[in-house]
Structure 1
């Protein structure tokens, strides 16, 4: 790497515009800022050598230069915003309503939103935030932030750390605020230094040369912003891992005890009772809604019991469970345990729990029962024996019966519209018979059956819909957002102000620079030169 030695003796890295020690513009550098003597100095990075502005040979250099560009970072953010906007056009796959006709995304989006929904699904926007290309886009934004920060922070930090009070006259004369006074007394110089200290400037002196500085920490505000954003992006990427973020939906029936998804079989939940409350029909506030919908829900809650498995797991053995918590889960009143949170998200009414069927003779108009049996629709048996010698085989079971292309099928595994294919075995070795029985359906395929089955009774229950959530990334989001806001405040409400006093013969040069609020800096200089012979600085940008 080439080195550039300044006349002050300081050795600068290649690409330096202003000498890190004295501030003199480096001759024949690759930038025009320091060579054009008619222009004010560009002090944005104090003329420090930035890698992206110096090297452009190897593939590493080109990659670094690409990601260090602010324009590239802005375009990546714009693309992410456009993609995020498109992803919110329709619900993401995980937010398809549980009571939708079909939760299959290939069917749901087209049936619900037409051709636009079909295009939305085919382009993969239904799973946008977990797609590889969206995650890659977020990662590239993070890479851009890191490289942009390193490319600017490190050189600027070194330049500010190495600056000395004695600066080259070209550096001073080409500052935006500058004045030169021919005759200044020692008393005036003493007043200037005293008043700088009164204004809480940190004063550095070197052989009569003075540099007064305050608010340098404000220069690091943008880089603190970047740190906060990087933490937020890391949290967004970690949110895609099942360990750091869990968002599951589970249906729990009244009286049912099941494993809570995402807990690796460690926790169980029992729906001890489900309560649904509606507003009174005489309540005038909801008369219109009651007339339209029939009822307005006031409250729905799950009285839940949480169990934890204790001891080792033995294959085929019932797990040993210990009660952990018993609580009511209501809308906006979740149940929290360990690192998990259960939210009341929905419910279903009148799901079939069990059905009782009777056997009677086909030609019997009174349908006198020859025997009956009850099927638990959650765990139906393969065979039922009646007291009078009959036996019935459950040949086929369709929990949620529908006809697809003239073939019977079950749309869901839940007993919402149960239907059966039964094989009836009469006593005394009579010929077995097959029947199809469902809600409003009783079909004899041959038309020659001597016996029929009919629904004698049924029992229903509520089903509670719960969202299971665990989020370890939330603290990272909070920390990242807090750091980002600290950077915003740091860079917005403070300014990095510098004032140089350069003795020249009997006179003195005064120059000033700030990264913002030039009016405030001029006001400070006006205060320190008050009642002295030192001339007020001129704004050389206004004179151009």
Structure 2
């Protein structure tokens, strides 16, 4: 678009309100005060409106659009807190079943809408990306013209520029040497830590220009923080998994792609003793159950030997031993394993024996591993027992059919089929005697069972619950938060102030502008008035209000 030429000869970009060189208003607006927002320079969003790029830029540069994106993001984030996210439900639970069982129809709807994994959903990431784009475009749309205007500002300003500042005054007295008076004012303002520039005897005193960049430093910090948050969706940058390990067993460390294993050597729980711990005597007396003092996992971290296969439990070599306690994780190679939960006395193995006429048949004891059961057991004297169905955590579903809640053996039920020596279990036409067994349960499912299976022993095991964490996004989050705080302090505790003082026909003309805290600028004017006799300006915004005029343009914070 064509540039606008000022009477001073300077060519300004289309849409500029105040000449970048002399400050003269290039177009008339209602109200007496000059619009000093972004120093009256042209913003791209208010200038170019032709093509698709312009429309996208103008949309995201709007502060209202940014606020609506934040509101939508807050509403979406709050939806994720109605029920626990999938990462916080029991790791062995099926989400499609868990939410309905725990929270009913609302829970089922919550799962079906995808809110159970809200913060990793594509639409939530899209909102975060939109917020980031809005921050970038809105910042560039404002910071570039502002930087250009502040960098090019001259000492000598057009008389109409001075007249339309909020603080403005003309000396009543005519001075024989007004330049000397301005020299005295310059010395006084330097004592107030103003940066004073002179041109043709005129004066520009400026202070705390860096405060104008505070909001944009905030935006940079927020953008870096958002980048750190979005990087959490990449497995290489962020891992938050859980692993349950039974005593004496080895499990793959989730989130490491089979690179590391954890072995539970022993799990220990210690309780407060109401006789030993006198200081907790009163509190312990009010507790019906024992109160845990500490719990820990004596663990060993392992990895496949060199040349071994990742993901294979064979040929593992020890890396380190560590007693994992709350707030004392096992840490290695950026991974940290935290102690977060435990389970005592989980069923591990059931031992059964085959009986005939209430007498145990010698050599027919067999043990079922409840976590990985074999489906067939060959016993002495040609007896065979097969598992037809296994329900680790038994319940009846809506159709009154047997099912399992999860794979954890909290309520194990087993349907056995017994084949005596005279029956061939491999013959498809042969049917053995069927029994349904569990804890305090032994039912015959075929008529006139001759043989019975009895539960003779049960092995229990303690299980530890560990959280696996690796967070490479922390440097981004810390840096973003620190930069944001710097910008907040920068823009809140310092204020950009400017004082113009010019002479004309022996009179001194003063004007002042601040992006906020006008009271402080008035105090500086008062100091210059007392020290150097500089005219004390009137607040034209207050005068306009008294006269019923508008002061909107001049009172806006910058």
- Using structure 2 for the length normalisation, give the TM-score: 0.89
Q: CA deviation at 1:438?
A: 2.3
Contact 1:212/1:500, CA 8 A, preserved across alignment: yes
Contact 1:433/1:449, CA 8 A, preserved across alignment: no
Query: Alpha-carbon deviations, 1:73-124, whole Å to 9, x = none?
Result: 111111111222222122122212458xxx3334433433344434433443
Given candidates 284, 287, 297, the residue that maps to 1:286 is 284
RMSD: 2.3
The equivalences for 1:251-400 within 5 A come to 251-280=244-273, 283-290=281-288, 294-314=289-309, 319-361=314-356, 363-364=357-358, 366-367=359-360, 369=362, 371-400=364-393
Q: CA deviation at 1:281?
A: 6.3
Contact 2:419/2:433, CA 8 A, preserved across alignment: no
For 1:269 and 1:79, locate their aligned partners in 2 and report how far apart those are by CA, in whole Å.
42
Contact 2:258/2:310, CA 8 A, preserved across alignment: no
What SS does the corresponding residue of 2:461 show, helix, strand or coil? Answer: strand
For 2:446 and 2:522, locate their aligned partners in 1 and report how far apart those are by CA, in whole Å.
103
Q: CA deviation at 1:388?
A: 4.1
Contact 1:344/1:467, CA 8 A, preserved across alignment: yes
Equivalent in the alignment of 2:550: none
For 2:21 and 2:380, locate their aligned partners in 1 and report how far apart those are by CA, in whole Å.
105
1:409 aligns with 2:407: no
What SS does the corresponding residue of 2:82 show, helix, strand or coil? Answer: coil
Equivalent in the alignment of 1:183: 174
Aligned length: 529
Given candidates 235, 238, 245, the residue that maps to 1:245 is 238
Equivalent in the alignment of 1:40: 33
Q: CA deviation at 1:269?
A: 0.1
Query: Alpha-carbon deviations, 1:393-441, whole Å to 9, x = none?
Result: 3343333333443543333222223333333343466887333232223
For 2:310 and 2:490, locate their aligned partners in 1 and report how far apart those are by CA, in whole Å.
60
Contact 2:211/2:491, CA 8 A, preserved across alignment: yes
For 2:148 and 2:312, locate their aligned partners in 1 and report how far apart those are by CA, in whole Å.
67
User: Which stretch of structure 1 is more off in the superposition, 456-465 or 308-317?
Assistant: 308-317
Contact 2:269/2:296, CA 8 A, preserved across alignment: yes
Q: CA deviation at 1:224?
A: 0.4
Q: CA deviation at 1:470?
A: 1.3
Equivalent in the alignment of 1:223: 216
Q: CA deviation at 1:373?
A: 1.9
TM-aligned CA distance change 1:210 to 1:464, over 3 Å: same
Q: CA deviation at 1:257?
A: 0.6
Equivalent in the alignment of 1:128: 118
1:420 aligns with 2:414: yes
Mark the runs of 5 or more structure 1 residues left unpaired by the alignment: 28-33
For 1:317 and 1:164, locate their aligned partners in 2 and report how far apart those are by CA, in whole Å.
73
Equivalent in the alignment of 1:165: 155
Query: Alpha-carbon deviations, 1:28-76, whole Å to 9, x = none?
Result: xxxxxx444x511111210000111112222221221111111111111
What SS does the corresponding residue of 1:211 show, helix, strand or coil? Answer: strand
Contact 1:311/1:320, CA 8 A, preserved across alignment: no
TM-aligned CA distance change 1:137 to 1:315, over 3 Å: closer
For 1:424 and 1:374, locate their aligned partners in 2 and report how far apart those are by CA, in whole Å.
15
TM-aligned CA distance change 1:303 to 1:177, over 3 Å: same
TM-aligned CA distance change 1:281 to 1:427, over 3 Å: farther
Query: Alpha-carbon deviations, 1:519-541, whole Å to 9, x = none?
Result: 11121122223254432111111
TM-aligned CA distance change 1:413 to 1:10, over 3 Å: same
For 1:533 and 1:287, locate their aligned partners in 2 and report how far apart those are by CA, in whole Å.
80
What SS does the corresponding residue of 2:373 show, helix, strand or coil? Answer: coil
For 2:391 and 2:217, locate their aligned partners in 1 and report how far apart those are by CA, in whole Å.
60
For 2:62 and 2:24, locate their aligned partners in 1 and report how far apart those are by CA, in whole Å.
27
Contact 2:259/2:310, CA 8 A, preserved across alignment: no
Equivalent in the alignment of 1:31: none
Q: CA deviation at 1:16?
A: 0.3
Query: Alpha-carbon deviations, 1:440-468, whole Å to 9, x = none?
Result: 23233322333221111121101111111
For 2:270 and 2:380, locate their aligned partners in 1 and report how far apart those are by CA, in whole Å.
42
Moved over 4 A (4+): 281-284, 314-318, 366-370, 428-432
For 1:162 and 1:413, locate their aligned partners in 2 and report how far apart those are by CA, in whole Å.
72
For 1:510 and 1:288, locate their aligned partners in 2 and report how far apart those are by CA, in whole Å.
76
